[in-house]
Amino acid sequence: MENLTLAELVATGGTPDDVVFERYGPGVDAGTTLISWSTAKSVTHALVGIAVRDGLLELDAPAPVPEWAGDERRRITLRDLLTMRSGLRFVEDYVDDSISHCLDMLFGAGRDDVAGYAAALPLDHEPGTCFNYSSGTTNIVSRIVGQAVGGGEEGMRRFMEDELFAPLGMSSAAPRFDAAGTFVGSSFLYCTARDYARFGLLYLDDGVWEGRRILPDGWVDFARTAVPVPDGEEFGYGAHWWLWDGQGFPGTFAAHGYEGQYIVVCPSQRRVVVRLGKTPEEQRPTVVERVAELLRGR
């Protein structure tokens, strides 16, 4: 297996320093920041939760997206977006740039305004009825949060730092923004493995950190409440978090990234597993089994 940027870490809760296993590949150590890819989607879920906590956003109100004001897309709610059931067209492909909205958004025509690119796409299904995993959806959500907390890159950076990163001690966290000032919440956050573990521990403890409630009551349950997904999906899905019940870990939920990034939260064992890497997609079953071994304590 190719492990050019391998990092594995197991934390058991209690305090952020309760690391019971840690291993790094060549050239990587506890101070190395590594890319999140789609594990950033779960961080975006936390940012929405904080905004909901503060009364800045409502889950079941129409999503405040200006592009949708005059058409049927105006019925899409923030809940629809977080559960990947917006009904919007989006092809999530990481290989073929001739058919991939994801690649075009992140690296092509949409790279300067990722949320604007995704928000311009048409509605293919009734909102709230059809699951379609979409990085574009997350970037629309990220822009919504940014606008709610004051707009622009500066306001969003301050919100992320003051309300999430600083309270958790995630001193390495480095989010990336597009030219329009939107945090690319689908894909572009850099952190050390230990700081990703801190984020996982927040969800392990129901959104409470050192006695302070960061996420609103019930927000973690929302993350891990299953929505219908198409037949053939390997994992279940909640709200910007994947579910591991089908892998033999009931109640366990996880943030997933394309190149083998995982933040897995297992409440029954009081355990958070972080696995970062640069592993080809065809080797993903081996990576998943390795993460499962770490969950079992092997």
**Domains in the chain, please, with CATH?**
7-296 (3.40.710.10)
**Whether pLDDT at 247 is above 60:** yes
pLDDT in tens, 54-107: 999 999 999 999 999 989 999 999 999 999 999 999 988 777 666 889 899 999
d(CA 158, CA 254): 26
What confidence score (pLDDT) does residue 1 get?
27
d(CA 141, CA 63): 9
Which of 192, 186, 157 lies closest to 171 in space, CA to CA?
Answer: 192
Which of 92, 218, 80, 213 lies closest to 141 in space, CA to CA?
Answer: 80
Between residues 44 and 11, which one has the greater pLDDT? Answer: 44
Predicted structure pTM score: 0.94
Band (pLDDT 50/70/90 cuts) for residue 151 is confident
pLDDT in tens, 187-230: 999 999 999 999 999 999 999 999 999 999 999 999 999 999 99
**Whether pLDDT at 6 is above 80:** no
296 in Cβ contact with 279 (< 8 Å): no
DSSP state of 162: I
What confidence score (pLDDT) does residue 9 get?
83
What confidence score (pLDDT) does residue 12 get?
75
Sequence-ordered alpha helix ranges (H) in the chain: 40-53, 78-82, 101-107, 114-119, 135-148, 152-160, 166-168, 193-204, 219-223, 284-296
